[in-house]
Structure 1
Amino acid sequence: MKWLRKKNNHQPSLSLEQERAEKLGELGAQLWALRQEQGLSLEQVVVLTRIPRRLLQAIEEGNLDDLPEPVYIQGLIRQFADALGLNGVEFSGTFPITSTRVNPQGMGNSSSLSQLRPVHLYFLYIFLIVCSVNGLSQLLNNAILQASNSQNQPYPKQKSVLKPEIAQRKESVKVKPVSDTATGVQQGQIVQIGVTLKSSSWIRVVADGKTEFEGILPEGTHRIWKAQEQLTVKTDNAGGVLMSVNQEKAKEMGEPGKEEEIRIAAKPKL
């Protein structure tokens, strides 16, 4: 009787490998049944989880030998369960990674460390993936910023091709101070000019040092300006502007298409 009681008190315990195999078979059967219930094929689950078909099949069949390290098996089960609508963390958490048995002797430190190594490797693997993703994201952001900055940078100002031509035209402009005899301006008389546009032309009129008008006048326009001391008329199309001084006969300011500037001053009173 004593022998029988001793035998019943010491039931053989499962090894960690047997626990994993038994739990994998249980979880795999549940996942297979749920997949069949949802009408999903393994190929469809492959698309959802990006897990190779052979690993998914090994999980469903409880084939521990065709799967990687236990910590990775737990991750695969979690992804599989998530794809089927389960709580993957809770579902995969029942798969044993390390042994929960406590070594009654004081020599369990080395074995517990060796059992924790796969977990450490798992976290190291996750850490490396996160770092790689962050690094790639930073590189992409820097490239986008550099491209955006290069597009937003103002282009260097180019010298207008018209500038040399305008400079030459400015050099050819001759200021013609008109005498009293030529313009018919008498002593103390107000200066008055009238312009009539034969063709659309740019014109600027300065009366007594103040700009009275600057802009383009259309063909057929007739304008009159007066000044007490001096009137200056400038145009970029001298042949298109007829100008009269103090209601005299109008004359062209110069040749067509050329700049011309004429200054008319009243003779001061003596």
Structure 2
Amino acid sequence: MDNREQEEIEAAKADEGQTAFQSVGAKLRAKREAEGLSLNEIANRTRVPIRHLEAIETSEYSALPGSTYTVGFTKSYAKALGLDDVAIAAEMRGELEQGGYQGMVARAPAYEPTDPARVPPRWLAWSAAGLAVALVAAYFVWRSFALSPDATPTESIKTVAEASIKDQPKPDAATAIDPAGEVVIAAREAVWVKIYDADNKRLYEQEMQPGDRFTVPANANNPMIVTGRPQVLEVTIGGKPVPALGTGERSIADVGVSAAALLARKANTSPAPASGAKSAGSAVPPTSGTR
């Protein structure tokens, strides 16, 4: 065998090795197409946005919010197709590490449009509305008496104004939240959640299922949360609900979930409907596995 034949054989082996490699996204796409499923159907099953599924299939990892999200989305995708989601997640971690994406982290802006701390309390809005009603009523009373010179409008205006203001709702002391109350995070839908402290110690990391609950340790050092779907989480302090952490328009990270941090964000809102969550407790609920 001459040198030329040897070179051709080695080149053929190299080509075979290259074609043997298949990215995780390509595997998932091939399986989806073999099952006759569209990306819309996968998105409905996994609650993962279509743009993120497309980025996974094409290995466009820079278009995804972070390596942890990427692995979580991929695991959900694999599970929806009936594949071994743990093995697929391990492959994705290796692929991200080889591509230099392992350390990327999604960051949310310091101020979110849905920050309830910037919304005026309900009682203040009602008081302002009541004052406006009182002023309008006073004007019409004054006008009616102005057409009758013998009448004395001053007393009537005062009576109407005082009655309108008196009827306005006052802040309900019974709804006050105990700052030392237990913080519980419950899921209404499937959602990936990671909770960690100021030292980056992981307190909880799971794909929560509907009804799953997690109690934030009371002694945790500034616990924070990262998740892509904050709108499906219900947060309570001492059993009393606080406003949602976000609308879901963007993922959130480094958002404090201690009682003090949540109360700093809280507006005086009505109690949220019961979520039907499982029994309370600080233990991590059983799910498909920890990432």
Please give the TM-score of this superposition, normalised by the length of structure 1.
Answer: 0.32
- Taking CA–CA contacts closer than 8 Å with sequence separation of 6 or more, which of the two structures ends up with the larger relative contact order? 2
Greater strand fraction, Structure 1 or Structure 2? 1
Please give the TM-score of this superposition, normalised by the length of structure 2.
Answer: 0.30
Larger radius of gyration: 1
Greater helix fraction, Structure 1 or Structure 2? 1
